[in-house]
Amino acid sequence: MFSLIKLPRVFSVHQVPRAFQEDSIISGYRHPRSSATDCVLSLFQLTNETLNVWTHFLPTWYFLWKLLTVVFMQDVWSDAYSWPLLVYLLSCCVYPLASSCAHTFSSMSMRARHVCFFFDYGALSLYSLGSAITYSAYVMPDAWVNGPFHTYYIPVAVFNTALCTTMACYSRFPEFQRPKLSKVLRVSAFTYPYLFDNIPLFYRIFLCVGEGCTVNEANSFHVYHTLLAFLTGFLFATHLPERLAPGRFDYIGHSHQLFHVCGIIGTHFQMQAIEVDMKRRRPWLLAHAPAITLGGTVGPAALSSLLSLGIIYVFSRPLFPGPAPRTELRKGSENEVESTHHDATADTEHTAKLVLLLWCASPLQHLNGREAPPWPWLPVSRTPNAIYDFGAPRAATELTALTGEEPAGNLEQHPPSRLGCDACPAVDGSVTGVEH
């Protein structure tokens, strides 16, 4: 039966658009216009995204099992003390599921890629807040309970989710014009909420001495989680080991896969530490800590989710401008083009061929033919990347092969790109790319 299923073809780095390339990953790329079916089928063949999906999809079921165990084995509906744990476990289910879906369907189109990872960032922000809610309820040092920091801890964590989701989503747009800014924004969007959430934990483990330090067997699990968290951040920021040997870790062992594995193991240790603190400190916390309410647990999580969805909508809306633009020749000028809003499916055969040519030729193909970036303050480079520059004669040959007609005008200004152009040949060039 499996022999009847045709698996999608994979491509090298020089055959896909720059926006789909990953740093120091040479091969194993999926088609940038894959169908949803092709995306799902690609999970059962070896690509550079296969393990990215499975390293988060399988742990989702483990975290779901943990959640259901708590729901059915404890009296969660009447025991408010367990509500923070439920919010945390739910966030632990959401973030790997969103990540696996993003890695699965990100090759459907440029717009799909952006939107998929917008949801991925929103899910990570929710997980950050889930951690903060449980830390406020179970992990806060005795000396800090009911103090000023404890009072404002959750409101600040909610604000951080909105701020960091915004930073992460925005970081996707200046990746080509200002790659260093994009990198700093994305790393900061993941690092800052972790550091803030763990302030009480860092104080409890590394700084506190004497009474009120909450020393118990959970501290060792907290240390394991902290070490894995820093290792996770190191892998995400440095792209090791593939930077040391480009092409050697394309399918197995590159930094994003290790990033996923370390993150999941770190979450496992974090979960164990929270469960130990929850059980060992229950009598003392019920007597001294503020009462746990829906407004202090489910409320912040719901508010954070709404804020993240709103932010995702704001960043996604400009990517869907409505009807696709039609490009046609002006009268009296052979080389100038103008855009009119018209459904491309209603074009004549000649205009459809011209649209194909301009799509392959335009350096702005990742914006679907629009002449402006999604936000007016982001400049768009009009100079195509050198990896796509074939020269006018070769481009003219490719146009003839695609359309059956001789090209009009000079294509030297607009060398073809890889996106949506299977007939365009592969060429050698520098290995560049952007990370998720």
Tokens of 178: 């200002």
- For residues 417 and 17, the answer to whether their CB atoms sit within 8 Å is yes
Average pLDDT over residues 400-410: 40
- Going 46 to 49 to 55 to 56, the CA torsion angle's sign is negative
- Give the pLDDT score at 147: 95
Q: How many CB atoms neighbour CB 393 within 10 A?
A: 10
Q: Do 368 and 288 fall within a single domain?
A: no
pLDDT surpassing 60 at residue 300: yes
* 20 secondary structure, DSSP code: G
Give domain status of residue 429, yes or no.
Answer: no
* 207 secondary structure, DSSP code: I
pLDDT surpassing 50 at residue 283: yes
Bind-site residues: 103, 256, 260
- Give the pLDDT score at 391: 35
- Of 264, 201, 311, 284, give the one whose Cα is nearest residue 57: 264
Give the whole-angstrom CA distance, residue 25 versus residue 433: 8
* 206 secondary structure, DSSP code: I
Give domain status of residue 208, yes or no.
Answer: yes
- Of 265, 201, 204, 197, give the one whose Cα is nearest residue 229: 265
Give domain status of residue 94, yes or no.
Answer: yes
For the chain, how big is the Rg over CA atoms in Å? 25
Bind-site residues for Zn(2+): 103, 256, 260
pLDDT surpassing 70 at residue 373: no
Average pLDDT over residues 165-182: 94
Which of 319, 352, 382 is the endpoint of a domain?
319
**Helix H or strand E segment including 152:** helix 148-170
Give domain status of residue 331, yes or no.
Answer: yes
Q: Do 239 and 384 fall within a single domain?
A: no
Q: Backbone dihedral region of 427: left (phi > 0), alpha (psi from -120 to 50 degrees) or beta? A: beta
Q: Do 314 and 331 fall within a single domain?
A: no
Q: Do 229 and 276 fall within a single domain?
A: yes
Q: Do 267 and 353 fall within a single domain?
A: no
- For residues 415 and 389, the answer to whether their CB atoms sit within 8 Å is yes
- Going 26 to 119 to 175 to 354, the CA torsion angle's sign is positive
**Number of domains forming the structure of the chain:** 2
- For residues 221 and 270, the answer to whether their CB atoms sit within 8 Å is yes
Q: Do 384 and 296 fall within a single domain?
A: no
- Give the pLDDT score at 376: 38
- Of 314, 374, 319, 311, give the one whose Cα is nearest residue 165: 311
Give the whole-angstrom CA distance, residue 185 versus residue 133: 25
Q: Where are the alpha helices (DSSP H) in 142-254?
A: 148-170, 179-197, 199-202, 218-238
Give domain status of residue 426, yes or no.
Answer: no
pLDDT surpassing 60 at residue 414: no
* 211 secondary structure, DSSP code: T
Give the whole-angstrom CA distance, residue 270 versus residue 134: 10
- Going 411 to 414 to 415 to 421, the CA torsion angle's sign is negative
Give domain status of residue 22, yes or no.
Answer: no
Give domain status of residue 35, yes or no.
Answer: no
Give domain status of residue 40, yes or no.
Answer: no
Give the whole-angstrom CA distance, residue 405 versus residue 387: 26
- Which CATH number characterizes residue 251's domain? 1.20.1070
Under the banding of pLDDT at 50, 70 and 90, the label for residue 425 is very low
Q: Do 296 and 359 fall within a single domain?
A: no
User: Which domain, by its residues, includes 395?
Assistant: 326-413
pLDDT digits (tens, 9 = 90+) for 71-127: 999 888 899 999 999 999 999 999 999 999 999 999 999 999 999 999 999 999 999
- Give the pLDDT score at 321: 78
Q: Do 357 and 265 fall within a single domain?
A: no
Under the banding of pLDDT at 50, 70 and 90, the label for residue 209 is confident
pTM comes to: 0.76
Q: Do 382 and 296 fall within a single domain?
A: no
Q: Do 363 and 315 fall within a single domain?
A: no
Q: Do 295 and 336 fall within a single domain?
A: no
Give the whole-angstrom CA distance, residue 426 versus residue 278: 57
pLDDT digits (tens, 9 = 90+) for 115-167: 999 999 999 999 999 999 999 999 999 999 999 999 999 999 999 999 999 99
- Give the pLDDT score at 327: 41
- Of 219, 227, 226, give the one whose Cα is nearest residue 280: 219
Tokens of 332: 């009296």
- Give the pLDDT score at 436: 61
Under the banding of pLDDT at 50, 70 and 90, the label for residue 329 is very low
Q: Do 342 and 311 fall within a single domain?
A: no
pLDDT surpassing 80 at residue 202: yes
